[in-house]
Structures are given as structure tokens and as C-alpha cells.
Structure 1
């Protein structure tokens, strides 16, 4: 019909869009290939082409790196050209537009002419600065030749850096969260001796005003402030306060605040802050929590303010000596490498002895450099004396000298005495174990902690079904395990975990594992308060030549953990002196935490989900192993226990492994002292 506008169909529009994209892609690939050809040539087109490519795709690190190489070489060449004697040159006028002003719509045209396009303004500026103004003779001599050269260099560098910085701003406006652009801008500022860092601070303010959660800009702001030492830290702290008050969900502001507080007060973590500062921070964070208790940003800051921070001092948690195996078990508060632990010296009756060091449940450190060597790290080590042996009878003194780099808290040398009748000597440093979850705030400022607890309880009344409130209440109760009735505390923790499971069923397994940890902590506290747990309290000097610590010499004993509904046994390793452990009728799948229990004689793990027994390979004293009704299916689990020479009884009834052909014969070969297998005499099977 005449006069009616013809409308394109969706198929036609899609076809045209694909055609345009294909044309852009072809030209983009042509420019990319061209820039790779010119990379090592210092051709003037490098700056021109990378400008076009980066306007189209500013996140490509390769193009930025090529641009860096070109700029560094260009600066070097220009500086060298000023050192040489000027020559007579002529130049023609040319008016070339700044390539940084090329818009997205001109991309295709710019790419099509990359090989024939004239030098960019930067190139012309470079040439004009070297050769002088058009039509001028440069062989004219002057008294201030050096000053003129320096002025030319500074002038050229200033214009060049301004142009590059403007180009990065253009890219950041398109994509303010591009890592490559921020890094390139930092590079330009770092090579500019006259860089204006105050201008960069203003730039950060502008971008954070547009998006206060742009963590790329927050990172760059920290770089800028390193070059502005005169900038008051209080102003920065106020800046974060304003950003937080504008938006409580600004995680970047909260995180930046943690760094500023430590820098302002020159401390490692918040456990060293003053009481007044902590009180002010608690008021700030609760203002956010009462406003929006479901926002995670403020809760992360709250946990930082209250949580256990990394203990920068190495501590000795437990030491156990087994006379029969001439071995020593060392449990530390931090992981150390094998090269570090091998610096430990052991003395037998004041004479040094050679030892081997075996890690318990080690992990290998990650290595991202050719110069870095991956190492096994562990916080639990078995030290075996090989150049001598501990006599089976008589009073024996054993000395352990730790290296200085361990930074042990006053425990550089440990002296242990085995009496004539002692087969085992165990020493346990109670403090680091029983205060596992005690918050730094609770230990440092009791009054502030009381105020904080009251605020948290008030919040829980207003938000009884808030997951984050319940999680923090759980942490609060666990931190008081040793200060209150531990059975009552365990009951409160159970109630909270049941409620969390109902309102957050997706994390049911996590809450069940947490309950297992709490039950074990309760048992640990309960055992530590029993008279049979401790033989005598040692004086400080009897254990450590250093600061006084609460230390116990421990008896052999057993622990009953059956039928508690445990899903894991993450950490009962401080109880290395245990001789009997009953973990039957639970839901345990992994027994890695039992590794290194060298004094363990009887282990009962019936009616669980255990599939691997190999973690018991260091349980040298193991005599009776009962693992009925589990998921053991292969003989490999037993082959790794060949060093457990004392095993006399094994019961793995109702496991798939008993159906493996040659099972009985293989078990008999591995354990020559075996007397009972699955409840029957081993010789009759």
C-alpha cells in the first residue's frame, strides 16, 4: 500500500545484526593480526591500532601490554635522541586528530585504514619536539642547550602522559570494572615523575560516587593513598563511614575500614584495638544490623570485629613420648613445613640423637613460581629416634629444642622425664584447646563484650528467625564453653542448630557437622574436668624454660563417644594420649582425625559409614580394631597398616571386603600376630 512504512521482520533484523557483527569481527581480527606482526618493530601504527582495539575491547591485557612495550621504548628513544647532536630537518604541517577521541561508531573505518593511516598525534608530537617547529633550523646553537633539551623532554612527557590518562578515562567510562584499564593507569602514573596523585584521588571519588561498590576502584584508591602519605587517615575513615551510611550493603567500604583501622592504630588485627575504638565500631555495626539484619556485609564486619584472629605466635599444644617405639608426638598450633620441623633438636640424657619426622594428615603448599618449591605442611609431627633408642626401663630425660623461627611462646626448650615405670609420658597445654572458640573481644574487653552480647540478644528478640543472628548466637555460646555449665551450653547450641536446620534446610549437612564439633568440644571439656583425666599439675619450670602456663601430665584413659549421632570427628587430636575410643553407632565417614594416635590400643567404630582405614597407619600401639557394619570394600585399607605390628584382633564383619577372594590369607600375611579375625580364631579361618 502506498504511504505505509515497510517494517522489517525479526528475521531480517537478526540477519542484518549478524552481518554487522561479522564485518566487525573480520576487521577486528585483521587489526589484531596486524598488531602482532608489528609488536617488535616499534612501528608508529602500534599506538594507533591498539587505541582502536582497546576502545572496542578494553579488557584485553595483551593489547595493553603491547602498548606498554611501545611506550617504554618510545620514551627511551626520545630521551636518547635529545642526547645526540641536533640535525637540520624540515617537517610539514599536519593536522591529525587525537586517536583517543575515536568513537565506537568509527571503529570499522579506523580499522580499514590502519596500514595507510598517518602517524598519530603522539608520534607527530614526538617528531616535532625532536626536530623543532615546522620550517625552523635545528642546528642553531644556544648557551642553554641542555636546559632546552630538558624542557623539551618534560614538555613532551607531560603532554604524552595527559593523553594516555585521558584515554584510560574514556575506557573506564565504558567499563569501570575492567582490571586491565586500572592496572594500565597505575602503570602510567608510576612512570610519570610529576604525577598528580591528588587528581587520582578525585577520580576515585567520582567513580565511587557512580558505583560505591566498585572494588576495582577501591583497590586503586589504596594504591593512590600510598603516594599521598600526607593524607589524613581520619579523613579516609570518615570517607568509609559516609559510604557505609549511604549504603549499609557496601561490602567494599566495610572491608576497607578493617584495613584503615589496623593502619591507623598500627596493629595487626582488631584484637589489639583500644576499648574506646571497639565500642565505637560496635555501635556503628549494630546501627547497620538493626536497619537491615539480613544484609551480609555488616555481618562480615561484625565477625571480623569479634572472631578469632590468626595467632601469629606458634604454640605447643601437646607432646607425647612413647618409650616402646622411641617416638615423640608433637602437636603445634600452626602448620610448619618439613624443612622447618627438621631444625628441631632432640636430646636423650643430654646427648643429641638423630631423628626422622613424619607428618600427620599433611597437605602440600601451592606453588605458582619456578623458584618456589612445594612442601608438605602439617601441625602434627611424629618424631622417631633412629640413632639410638629409649631404654625400656629406668629414668630417662628427653630434651626437645625448638628452632627460633618457630617463635614459640616461651617454649624454646622442653624437658620431659620418663620415670622408671613410665611407658608413656604426655603433656597437654590446656589453654589453646579449651579456648578454641573464645572470641578476642571477650578476652580483651569484658565490659564491651557484655554490652555486645546484650545488643545481640535484643536483636534476636526482634529477628528470632534470622539466620545470621542465630549463627552469631551460636558462636557466642561456643565461646563460653569453659566459663559456664557446658551441658547447658551444649543444650542451647543444639536448639539453635535445630532452628537453623528448619529455616535453612539446604545447609543441613553443615549444621549436623557443626553439632558433631560441639558434642566433641563438650566431651573434651567434660573429660578435662574429671579427676582421672589429670595425674598431677606440673609447675611451670618442670615443662618449659619460659613463661608459666597451665600444663597437665596426663594418664592413659578411654573416651565413650558412641550413639551421639556424630557425622564427623574433625578435631579430637589434642587427646593423643587416649588408649581406647568407642565411636560406634554414629554416621562417621572419615577417620582422618585419628591419625597419629600412637597410644591408641582399642578402636571401636562399628555401625558407621567408614570406607577407609588407612589413616590409622601411625597408630603403632593398636591391638584391637572393630569396624563392623561399615563400607570397607578393598584390601588397600589394611595394606597401609603394616607398621601396626601389635594388631591381634580385627573384626570387619558385614563389610564388602570380607567377600574379596583371599581376604583371610591376605590379612594373615599382613598381621602375623593376629589372633582373632571377625570373632573367630585367625588360625582356624
Structure 2
């Protein structure tokens, strides 16, 4: 028996862990209680920094303590020299790095780092950019770091071209980097704007981007990142502003209009109401009572709507719609039914016909290799509907049957494509 280590039983181990947790919890609660007392007493000193650091090192999501530290540093700012203040902030940046190593996706840590960089006397933005690069090497999908990088880039005056090259390098190392694809979509319109289409990108640049996206999904057809970017490249047609629906209530003496896309009456368009051929005077409001961009707009009629028949006409430049409130009816409406083949008609029709055809050919080549890939099937169907829905009707319906078998969880969505 001598010389042998005693092995604790399971019960003994659990009891030891319980006591250790209780000890830590007492210390945690005591420190937290003291911190709240000091904050209530407006004590902004070094001890408060040390106490909050103890808690935040274990729990970096304790947002109240980050706010207390902000108050402490603002108090230091009023009574410290520039060099002293800079030293305090340098120490805070080091502390934040230690917290981020334990929790790299802490909202509080990244937000507090923004505060420090905006408040310290001599911020080093180049160092922060290198820090972002390092964290994105550890986790390319850390959207907290991507957000912070955009914050740093703006203040470091990094050019969109340089950031675009950065996204290229990240995508080249890993096609499954959705954050890089998304960031790329924000940079392209800034670097290569299309003068004919606000927010668009020049055609020659789009062709190169199509090649990049194709390389990605031919390499890994099951990864959704490149497919989403490919959909963005194809674009989405802009609906014409029109009146889709007019509804009249006799009891409420109110006219409701639904537009084809959100608009602001007065800024984007002028909308007139005519009751039995006479123009009505009044104001349009949204259902929330505001005058912001909205699909729905309300107009209160000042003239009474008696039990007789009344005709209401709503007109705007290039579009009008009317409805008739018949004798005894309390309400009336005029609304378009969703026509077969129009539900998704704006999905991809912004791209040119040649571009759509080329992309369809590329996807069909991939389909021969990946006949059961839902992303390939979905993109082919959308491209066919954008190019010529009647010509490709039979093939589209066949693909819908196939994709429902491959991805039954989205059956209703795919069935809508057949309408």
C-alpha cells in the first residue's frame, strides 16, 4: 500500500468541484457587489479598474462593467496628462487583447475597443489593422472582427482598392469565407460604379467576378457562400413604381393604397385621390402615422360616404387605379392577382441576356457533374425563368420535382417557382 497514490472516488471529485465552484462564486459575487457600490458612489479610481478586470477576465460579456470602465477612463481624461492618459489606454488595449483570446466573439470587448481607439490621444490605426489580420487568420468568419475592421479601415483611410485586394487574398485561401464575399459586394460598387445604374457595377468587372464565383462553386458546389455572391452578381431588376391595390372603407371613410415598392409620398411621388370625379384634399400617412418610406399609405376622406354608390380613383404619374363602393357595401377593393410566372420575375432579370445565357451554360455543365446539388438546380431554374420562362417551362418543372426530392424541407418555396 505504501508508495501508491490515492485515487479519489467519483463522489469525492464531485464534492471537491462543488466546493471550488462555491468558493469562486463567493469571490465573484463579493467583487461584483463592491463594484456596484463604487459605481454608485462615483468612485473612478485604479481599484475600480482592477476589480472590473477580475470579473471581465472571467466573463467578458458583462456589459455593465465595460460601461463602468468607460466612465473611469473619461474621469481619467479630465485629470491626467496626455502621456499618463495614453499609458492608461495602452494598458486597456492589452487587457482587451487578453479578453479576446478567451472570447474572440465578445460584443462588449470589440465595442469597448472602439471606444478606446476613439478616446485615446494617439491611436495607432495601423496596429489595429494588423490585429484584425491576426484574428481573421484564426477565424475567417468572425463577423465581430470584420465589423471592427471596417471601423478601423474608415479611420485609417485605407482605400477600397486595398480592401478589395484583401478580400481576394482571403477568398483565394478559403472559398467558404462568406464574410469576404459579402465585403466584396460592398466594395465593388465603390471601386467600379456603373454610371447607368446607381449601385451597379461595370459589365467588364462583373465578368471577372463571375469567373471567380464559378471557380469557387466548381471547386466546392455544396458551399453556399459563392452561390449567394453569384446571385448578387446577377442582380435584381427594380420594379416600376405603381399602385398595386386600392381599398376603401365606408365606415372609416378611409382609402388605403399599396404600392409596388416602398416610397415616400411627397418626396418620391405625388398621389391624388378623386371621389366621384372631385379631387380630395388631405394628407397621406403610413399605418404607423409617419411619413417615412412605406408600401402602405392611408388617406382619410373629409367628405362623408353615404349609402349610395361612390367611385374612388387614386392616381399618380404613369399609374392609376379605381374601385367602386356599391350601394350598401361597407368596403371595396381593386387588387391584382398574382399571375403565373410573375412571382419571381424580378429575381435575376437585371443582368443582360447574354450574361444570363453564359451563366446558364456554366451551371448546366456543373449540373452534369452534380445532378443532385440543390444550389445548382436552384440557380438553373432562376436563370431559365429570367431568360425565357415559357421556353424552359418543361425543364423548370422537371428540375422542381428533382430539387424537392433533394431538399424536401423547402418544398413550398420550390412549388412557388412553378406558379
- Pick the TM interval, shorter chain: 0.7 to 0.9
- Judging changes above 3 Å, is the alpha-carbon distance between structure 1 residues 249 and 161 closer, same or farther for their aligned structure 2 residues? same
Task: Choose from 237, 261, 272 the match for 2:164.
Answer: 237
- d(CA) in 1 for partners of 2:21 and 2:245? 69
Task: Choose from 197, 207, 230 the match for 2:135.
Answer: 207
Larger radius of gyration: 1
Q: Structure 1 stretch 208-217 or stretch 3-12: which is displaced more?
A: 3-12
- d(CA) in 1 for partners of 2:321 and 2:228? 43
Q: Structure 2 regions of 5+ residues with no counterpart?
A: 325-331
Q: What aligned pairs does 1:117-136 form with structure 2 within 5 A after superposition? A: none
Q: Structure 1 regions of 5+ residues with no counterpart?
A: 79-152, 366-372, 403-410, 419-423, 520-685
Cα displacement (A) at 1:266: 4.8
Contact 2:235-2:351 within 8 A present in 1 as well? no
Cα displacement (A) at 1:163: 1.1
- Judging changes above 3 Å, is the alpha-carbon distance between structure 1 residues 3 and 239 closer, same or farther for their aligned structure 2 residues? same
Contact 1:275-1:445 within 8 A present in 2 as well? no
Matched, 1:437 2:345: yes
Using CA pairs below 8 Å that are at least 6 residues apart, which structure has the higher relative contact order?
2
- d(CA) in 1 for partners of 2:201 and 2:43? 54
Figure out how many residues of one structure are paired with residues of the other and give that number.
Answer: 402
Cα displacement (A) at 1:160: 1.6
Cα displacement (A) at 1:234: 1.9
Cα displacement (A) at 1:508: 2.9
SS in 1 for 2:259: strand
- Judging changes above 3 Å, is the alpha-carbon distance between structure 1 residues 206 and 389 closer, same or farther for their aligned structure 2 residues? same
Cα displacement (A) at 1:74: 2.1
Q: TM-score, normalised by structure 2?
A: 0.81
Cα displacement (A) at 1:509: 3.7
Q: Structure 1 stretch 492-501 or stretch 261-270: which is displaced more?
A: 261-270
Residue 249 of structure 1 is matched in structure 2 by 176
- Judging changes above 3 Å, is the alpha-carbon distance between structure 1 residues 374 and 20 closer, same or farther for their aligned structure 2 residues? farther
Residue 241 of structure 2 is matched in structure 1 by 315
SS in 2 for 1:41: coil
What are the Cα deviations for residues 325-345 of structure 1, in whole angstroms up to 9, with x where unaligned?
999885421246899999843
Matched, 1:456 2:338: no
- d(CA) in 2 for partners of 1:267 and 1:60? 46
Task: Choose from 105, 110, 114 the match for 1:177.
Answer: 105
Q: What aligned pairs does 1:502-581 form with structure 2 within 5 A after superposition? A: 502-512=405-415, 514-515=416-417, 518-519=418-419
Q: TM-score, normalised by structure 1?
A: 0.52
Residue 59 of structure 1 is matched in structure 2 by 61
- Judging changes above 3 Å, is the alpha-carbon distance between structure 1 residues 50 and 449 closer, same or farther for their aligned structure 2 residues? same
SS in 2 for 1:212: coil
Q: Which has the higher helix share?
A: 2
Residue 295 of structure 2 is matched in structure 1 by 379
Residue 42 of structure 2 is matched in structure 1 by 41
Matched, 1:2 2:2: yes
Contact 1:354-1:387 within 8 A present in 2 as well? no
Matched, 1:227 2:155: yes
- d(CA) in 2 for partners of 1:184 and 1:384? 49
- d(CA) in 1 for partners of 2:163 and 2:276? 60
Contact 1:346-1:399 within 8 A present in 2 as well? yes
Contact 1:399-1:413 within 8 A present in 2 as well? no
Cα displacement (A) at 1:379: 3.5
SS in 1 for 2:372: coil
Contact 2:245-2:259 within 8 A present in 1 as well? no
Cα displacement (A) at 1:75: 1.3
Q: Note the aligned Cα RMSD (angstroms).
A: 4.2
Contact 2:255-2:300 within 8 A present in 1 as well? yes
Cα displacement (A) at 1:273: 0.6
